[in-house]
Structure 1
Amino acid sequence: MKVTVIGAGSWGTAIAGVAAARADEVMLWSHDEPVPAGINEHHRNPLYLTDFTLPDNVRATGDFREALEGAEGVIVVVPSPFIRATIHGAAPYIAADVPVLCLTKGIEPGTGKLMTEVVEEELGHPERVAALSGPNHAEEICRGTLAAAVVASEHPGVVAFFKDLLISPAFRLYASSDVVGVETCGAVKNVIAIVCGIAAGSGYGDNTLALIMTRGLAEISRIVHARGGDPMTCMGLAGMGDLVVTCTSEHSRNRSFGVAFAHGESLDAYQARTHMVVEGAAAAKSTAELCRRLGVDAPITFCLEAALYRGMTLDEALEALIVRTPTEEFYGLDR
């Protein structure tokens, strides 16, 4: 079986290594020119996870036709700002019956669409599209340390296909039918992680970080509920699990950007320095747009959006949060 991974960043590289244990051939598609040569000649990605040696049955290319011809499964792992254009380019080479798994986390600006919805629009046949999310830092997945994730689709056969492909003793996979909940958690937790990084970089302690994570989870739950998802999903791997690891880990680019932002580094400078897309920065804008459209109260998201894009200082953002009068803990949710 041939499996194609579209996107050869850290997560794409790591998941290619996971898929290689079950697939006969894994083809990585990358738009970064040095990547195919580095993987094909040395079995290493020269830009991401550079110390990770990929299995011999993983190859790479920058050509969609070569990458996708004969593929029986496709995994999408491109940064959210580029997902629509990338999948539009790949669409002519993906057969209508090929299952597609989306690992990208985000909400599209303007439309408020989740990443699977973007993929479905570009490819058609939405019944074959699933999402995977969970506390999965690529730096640990590639080393085979114990981890878990959720595969979400309303169609059990698609979930079963990707569980069989990716599951291992070290990578536990659970099933869910709540695609909206799983994807919303995956997108918005990046916003909360930036705020945790800002707090840590500003000298606040563990109590403050716990406060941000807990109220952040309540904020995510309100958004999931308003979008028609199940708030209970927020208590699982895609919600609480991913939130904790992204808000606390040294591997989290969203948290580390928050720390750098608190120290005065701009978003553009951070992304140029690290060669990484800060998904939570894009999500702050698109999530704020969505919340205003849905009438959801999302104060943490609104303050981060204002700090990143509207010229609000960090002191002003903090003031905007702490002057709010605390109300019922779980407001905005049906119980």
Structure 2
Amino acid sequence: MNISVIGTGSFGTSLAMVLLDNGHNVLMYGRNKEVVSEINNDHTNSRFLKNINLNAGIRATSDLNEAANHAELIVLAVPVKAIRSVSKELNQLLKELDKKVLVVHVAKGLELGTHMRVSDVIQEEMSDETMVDVCVLSGPSHAEEVALKAPTTVSTACRNPKSLQTVQDVFMNKYFRVYRNEDMTGVEIGGALKNIIALAIGVLHGLNFGDNAKAAIITRGLQEIARLGTKMGANPLTFLGLAGMGDLIVTATSMHSRNYRCGIMLAEGKTIDEAQAEMGMVVEGVNTTKAAYELSKEYGVEMPITDVLYKYLFNDISEEEAFYALMMREKTGETDKLEDLMEEQYKDWTRE
């Protein structure tokens, strides 16, 4: 297929390498002309993937119209905050070109203000005239490892089984395995909310808390993700899979994770802006914490880790206050409230 990858960041670049290995004609689009030139001339992307040589078959452009004209399938690999504007621009270009494409997004977050999932934002900005379907690709997949062809397994979700099969066929190879999942809500919520927990774990690491505390936050964090996700209509079993537990583990335990590293920097005294500037990349967990905090109030879901992290990030409470708020909560059972919620939602799913 002719595939355009919109975004020249680390994950977009690594996916371009996967797609080229699979025999597709790949064109990348990026706004930064220096990065585009480096990809075309040096076959590297040193800003986002250090010490990685790109296949010479990967081409890049800074002309979005060229990328739209090239594509049968578009991979949206831009930060959540750019999804709406890029989708709107693509929609107009595709209308002028009188063509439709399949869209696959890999963004992990929620839109600030609207609290919308990424696929809903795309669907709001792109019409039936320009888009066949929108799918999500998500799971435990550090770009650095994908670029090195390290074994990686992810999920893809879409409401249309035919499009879902197409995405699996397009991306899957011997080192990049793709599982199908019909639960778009669960896959997107799992991918978004795990960044909150990874950010919290990074703060704990920076404060020299031990593995016991980290394990507790990861475990309780997964329950928070499941509580909100099931309230929003997700299949609870999704959170035990790649887009839930899998992505949470890899993001909350690795220095490859920008959310984990950002948490460490915050604990060391850096501001959010300073931490993001040092990494040179967007830390999705910051905005997602705010969106998820507001969503939890909207849905009436208890999310103590998200609540405390929100206050730490935006209300300027100290690490000591945050720790006390988590550890001195009321006595409760480990699965109180979660079992009833998940059982109720699972019945709804199996009934469908």
**How would you bin the TM-score normalised by the shorter chain?**
over 0.9
Shift of residue 328, structure 1, vs aligned partner:
2.7
SS of the aligned residue for 1:92 comes to helix
Structure 2 partner of 1:4: 4
Taking a change above 3 Å as real, the CA distance of residues 186 and 24 of structure 1, as seen in their structure-2 partners, is closer
Letter in 1 for 2:93: Y
Check if 1:131 corresponds to 2:136. Answer: yes
State, as a whole percentage, how many aligned pairs show the same letter.
38
Unmatched runs of 5 consecutive residues or more in structure 1: none
1:115 aligned to 118, 124, 148, which one?
A: 118
Deviation at 1:287?
0.8
2:155 is paired with a residue whose SS is strand
Greater Cα offset, 17-26 or 288-297: 17-26
2:200 to 186, 195, 211: 195
User: What stretches of structure 2 of length at least 5 have no aligned partner?
Assistant: 344-352
| Runs of 4+ with >6 A deviation | none
Task: Establish whether residue 93 from structure 1 lines up as the match of residue 96 from structure 2.
Answer: no
For residue 23 of structure 1, report the CA deviation from its aligned partner. 4.1
Q: TM-score, normalised by structure 1?
A: 0.97
AA matched with 1:115: V
Pick from 248, 261, 270: which aligns with 1:265? 270
CA distance in 2, matches of 1:59, 1:284: 36
- Cα distance in 2, alignment partners of residues 19 and 92 from structure 1: 26
- Number of corresponding residues: 335
- CA distance, structure 2, for counterparts of residue 64 and residue 171 of structure 1: 28
Q: In the alignment, what sits opposite 1:296? A: 301
Q: How far apart are 1:223 and its partner, in Å?
A: 0.7
RMSD over equivalenced CA pairs, Å: 1.3
Q: Distance in 1 between matches of 2:85 and 2:20?
A: 27
State the TM-score, normalized to the length of structure 2. 0.92
Query: CA contact under 8 A between 1:23 and 1:165: conserved in structure 2?
Result: no
Alpha-carbon separation, structure 2, partners of 1:96 and 1:225: 36
Asked whether the equivalents of residues 109 and 289 of structure 1 are also in contact (C-alpha less than 8 Å), the reply is no
Within 1, Cα distance between the matches of 2:23 and 2:112? 35
Deviates more, 1:46-55 or 1:13-22: 46-55
2:4 match: secondary structure: strand
Shift, 1:97, TM fit: 3.1
Superposed counterparts of 1:144-183, under 5 Å: 144-183=149-188
SS of alignment partner, residue 249 of structure 2: helix
| Mapped contact 1:134–1:239 kept (Cα < 8 A) | yes
Which stretch of the first structure deviates more once superposed, 266-275 or 181-190?
266-275
Whole-angstrom CA distance in 1 between matches of 2:342 and 2:305 = 21
| Partner of residue 249 from structure 1, selected from 250, 254, 258 | 254
Hey, what does 2:57 align to over in structure 1?
Answer: 57
The corresponding residue for 1:307 is: 312
For residue 127 of structure 1, report the CA deviation from its aligned partner: 6.0
Query: C-alpha distance in 2, partners of 1:90/1:285?
Result: 28
DSSP 3-state at the match of 1:52: strand
